[in-house]
Amino acid sequence: MAGVSRLQYSTEIRLIRVMCTGRIDLSFVLRGFSNGADGVFIGGCHPGECNYMVHGNYHTLSMVHLCKKIMEHIGLNPERLRIEWCDAGEGLRFGKIMNEFGKKVKDLGPLGEGEGIDEDEIKARLEEVSRLVPYIKLEKKEKLESHFDKIEEYKELYTSDEIDQLFREAPSYYIDPDKCQACGICLKRCPVDAIIGGKNLIHVIDQEKCIKCGTCFESCPPRFGAVKKISEESVPPPIPEAERTIVRKAKAN
């Protein structure tokens, strides 16, 4: 049992249900807040009692603690996100949990207002983090896949300093115009169409679309080495469109 709930100031609660908590991605939680939810609730099978024998609830527990630290990083109260274990026969317990969480969210106030942050600023911060989800998941893959016997161990899995460093060192990718041969490989493999290019045109990366997944860096042929990984530095401005045409030398007969 899993759900992402939008808690309004009436008694209305909207649930989006999926079959297993293991299917709940970090982006789902962030999207809930981006869409205006003041609180997000995830309910799953008790640890060790997975109906599908894949133990997805352990993965989700790790994800939730990561998300809470990210929320702290961008100024949101982590208590707006809650995870609990409750099976189909615990209806009374589930009702009690939801009533408690509903009251907690009402006490916290509307998203952003309770934290003293402007609504537009909250959305901008959430959108930026959402764009970096692929990078975050790659960087924290090992921890996200951790499986501890004691639930309490997950609470100490991530630290605030670690998350601050994660965002501070988030890389950017840049295509060196002097090395790009317009082969089109990075352009075709970019999962979000963040690379602009064409035949005989030096490629450039749209930094606003880039999700920092590193696909372009990995796919650029070593003989070219045109894609550069940049950390803690400003990305050079893109080459002007009028200067992007590659003039090929004619082959000698």
pLDDT of residue 18: 56
Residue 16's pLDDT band (cuts 50, 70, 90): very low
Q: How far apart are CA 224 and CA 134, in angstroms?
A: 26
Phi, psi for 132 (deg, rounded to 5)? -95, 5
pLDDT of residue 77: 97
Q: Is the pLDDT of residue 34 over 60?
A: yes
Strand locations in the chain (E): 2-7, 13-18, 40-44, 81-85, 172-175, 195-198, 201-205, 227-230
Q: Tokens in use for 189?
A: 């493999």
219: region left, alpha or beta (phi > 0 left; psi from -120 to 50 alpha): alpha
Q: How far apart are CA 148 and CA 150, in angstroms?
A: 6
Q: Is the pLDDT of residue 181 over 90?
A: yes
- Choice between 126 and 233, residue whose per-residue pLDDT is larger: 126
The CATH number of domain 172-243 is 3.40.1350.10: no
Length of the chain: 253
pTM: 0.82
pLDDT of residue 7: 44
Q: Tokens in use for 166?
A: 């994660």
CB 89, CB 42: distance < 8 Å: no
Domain with CATH 3.30.70.20 in the chain: 172-243
Number of helices (H), then strands (E), in the chain: 9, 8
251: region left, alpha or beta (phi > 0 left; psi from -120 to 50 alpha): beta
Q: How far apart are CA 144 and CA 55, in angstroms?
A: 13
